[in-house]
Amino acid sequence: MLSSTLSFLVSKDGRKISNGDCALFRAGNAPPFIGIIRHQVVDEEGDVKLGVNWLYRPADVKLGKGASIEALPPNEVFYSFHQDEISGASLLHPCKIAFLSKGVQLPSGVSAFVCRRVYDVTSKCLWWLTDRDYTNDCIRVSSACLNQGHAS
């Protein structure tokens, strides 16, 4: 299969989007999906495909038995290692995500999603971005995930 790599893509509202940018994606009648574009290619049929790393809204997180999420601001999202290749036609427009450490607040006047935690879709638990229990490639999970308060 022949394909070519794109250096940037233009969203429906005319803004350029490049690899590493955060964006919103069509999700039917639900709130838009939130993702980070990892790669962009045009396949041999001329269709744009996007490799996307997904971020999850609290309502979409399924935690393991006994774990719960405390009340969060409506703009809080969770990073995940879940990736898909999707149609470029689902791209709506870029968005901003502030990756912040635990306890750090978004400066006033800044409009963005806030991400402080990683959601492990396999073991169904949350980790603070600053936890040393995961690596860039995968999350090391132990039984302590639910027992030591990583979900709160």
Taking only the tens of pLDDT, the chain with its 152 residues reads 445 566 666 666 677 888 899 999 999 999 999 999 998 888 888 888 999 999 999 989 988 877 778 778 889 999 999 999 999 999 998 999 999 988 888 888 888 999 999 998 888 888 888 766 554 434 333 333 333 334 44
DSSP state of 137: S
Burial of residue 129 (CB within 10 Å: 0-12, 13-18, 19+) is: middle
Question: Cα–Cα distance between 104 and 13 in angstroms, integer?
Answer: 32
Task: Select 9-148's CATH number: 2.160.10.10, 2.60.200.20, 3.40.50.300, 2.30.30.490.
Answer: 2.30.30.490
| Per-domain boundaries in the chain | 9-148
Question: Cα–Cα distance between 56 and 70 in angstroms, integer?
Answer: 15
- pTM summary value: 0.78
What are the φ/ψ torsions at residue 69 (nearest 5 degrees)?
A: -105, 130
Three-class SS state of 2: coil
